[in-house]
């Protein structure tokens, strides 16, 4: 009985402490015990099997990644259930507020000024259409609104444009939406300004492994990426960081990319996994199509090595069948982008997502910005756990009494 009660207390303490950290960092609160339909002891065992750790090596991640696919999917699903409510998927919307004309040479991107693509350079959007798009996204079920600008970084544009973006962030945040931005490189001062404006998270993907990176981008370094991530973290913002597969990289590059993310002092709160969309006019326009199983494998591995992070099924989802998307959710994806476009690339239509959610029994996830509501939910969780402790202790006493009679 003492061992059972001890396991319950550890699970409750872990959950309470973890959720306090989640709220402090502006990230999703981990699933309450009862919402995953497992006992407190089973939950504690799952979290012990899939701990949040930062000491991963390439070899250890390779062993996870190379498992038979069905075994890997099962492990990803188990890790997911240890930290999140199964069947709950966050819908996010991504809007390009400044399209085209980017000075970077990312070989996958149609917004680069280095390539002849169909994307034309545009000015920064006015505030009104951005707010209208955010309101429409919320009405359609999105709880996170992401704004992307095709800039090398905030320092490469005038303070006036950055101030306009800060104003957009404040007003979108007032809609009770999580707000994410991807504006290129930022320093700590700029990241703090974003935080003060109400930004929830900053997206800055590392794209691929450090070794393969120079074959994809030459106008900024891998270290530039990491420097921005450090500035974002130092400012107290939630980090959204993942990568792209299908760039011509090897499996070792994919594993190395995940190792870079999973060995950060704090895991990214959101990990977008993108499949290359081969844009005409870019150096990668003739890239070989990605096997869906590669995407499923990547999602499951990301879920296992960063079990408490949101794993976002991102670009390239429109090339997947409903069955393939279902496998991604089963493997541990619990966030998607909705809307007809991801910046400049096509995405799944809203009505198709609605039908998919209904067919799979999925439901949307609430935003995690309402601190008072989260505090109430935490207190309710503690009361539920306390009730479980008393009930299970009583049941064990009955079993012991029966066996000794």
Q: Considering 144, 254, 312, 317, which one is annotated as catalytic? A: 312
Across the strands, what pairs with 364? 89
Count the alpha carbons within 13 Å of 303 in the hemisphere toward its beta carbon. Answer: 30
Residue 374 annotated among the catalytic residues of the structure: no
Phi, psi for residue 15 in degrees, rounded to 5: -65, -45
Cα separation, 283 vs 108, in Å, equals 7
Q: Considering 22, 30, 92, 109, which one is annotated as catalytic? A: 109
Q: Considering 22, 30, 92, 240, which one is annotated as catalytic? A: 240
Residue 30 annotated among the catalytic residues of the structure: no
Write the CB contacts of 169 (distance below 8 Å, at least 6 apart in sequence): 147, 179, 181, 194, 197, 198, 199
Q: Considering 92, 106, 259, 328, which one is annotated as catalytic? A: 106
Q: Considering 22, 102, 241, 259, which one is annotated as catalytic? A: 102
Question: Encoding tokens for residue 320?
Answer: 């997947």
Residue 259 annotated among the catalytic residues of the structure: no
Residue 241 annotated among the catalytic residues of the structure: no
Q: Which residue has the tokens 């760039």?
A: 247
Residue 146 annotated among the catalytic residues of the structure: yes
Cα separation, 11 vs 22, in Å, equals 16
Q: Considering 22, 180, 241, 259, which one is annotated as catalytic? A: 180
Cα separation, 43 vs 49, in Å, equals 10
Residues catalogued as catalytic: 102, 106, 109, 146, 180, 240, 312
């Amino acid at each position: 009985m003492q061992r059972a009660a001890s396991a319950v207390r550890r699970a409750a303490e872990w959950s309470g402490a973890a959720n306090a950290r989640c709220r402090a960092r502006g990230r999703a609160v981990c699933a309450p015990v009862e919402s995953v339909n497992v006992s407190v002891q089973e939950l504690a065992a799952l979290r012990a099997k899939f701990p949040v750790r930062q000491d991963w090596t390439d070899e250890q991640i390779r062993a996870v990644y190379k498992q038979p696919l069905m075994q890997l999917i099962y492990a990803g699903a188990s890790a997911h259930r240890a930290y999140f409510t199964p069947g709950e998927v966050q819908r996010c919307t991504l809007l390009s507020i400044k399209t085209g004309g980017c000075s970077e040479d990312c070989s996958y991107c149609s917004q680069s000024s280095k390539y002849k693509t169909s994307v034309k350079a545009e000015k920064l959007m006015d505030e009104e259409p951005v707010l209208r798009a955010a309101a429409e996204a919320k009405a359609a079920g999105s709880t996170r609104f992401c704004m992307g600008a095709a800039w090398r970084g905030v320092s490469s544009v005038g303070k006036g444009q950055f101030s306009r973006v800060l104003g957009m962030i404040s007003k979108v945040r007032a809609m009770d939406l999580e707000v994410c931005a991807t504006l290129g490189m930022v320093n700590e001062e700029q990241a703090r300004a974003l935080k003060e404006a109400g930004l929830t998270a900053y997206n800055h993907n590392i794209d691929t492994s450090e070794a393969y990176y120079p074959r994809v981008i030459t106008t900024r370094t891998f270290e530039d990426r990491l420097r921005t991530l450090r500035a974002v973290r130092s400012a107290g913002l939630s980090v959204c960081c993942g990568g792209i597969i299908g760039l011509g990289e090897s499996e070792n590059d994919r594993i190395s990319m995940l190792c870079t993310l999973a060995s950060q002092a704090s895991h990214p709160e959101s990990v977008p996994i993108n499949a290359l969309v081969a844009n005409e006019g870019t150096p990668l326009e003739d890239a070989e199509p990605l096997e869906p199983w590669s995407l499923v494998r990547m999602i499951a591995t990301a879920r296992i090595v960063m079990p408490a992070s949101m794993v976002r099924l991102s670009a390239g989802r429109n090339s997947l069948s409903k069955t393939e998307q279902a496998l991604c959710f089963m493997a541990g994806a619990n966030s998607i982008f909705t809307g007809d476009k991801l910046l400049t690339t096509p995405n799944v239509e809203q009505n198709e997502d609605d039908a998919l959610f209904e067919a799979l029994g999925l439901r949307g996830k609430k935003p995690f910005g309402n601190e008072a509501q989260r505090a109430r939910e935490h207190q309710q969780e503690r009361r539920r756990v306390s009730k479980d402790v008393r009930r299970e202790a009583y049941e064990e006493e009955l079993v012991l009494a029966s066996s000794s009679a």
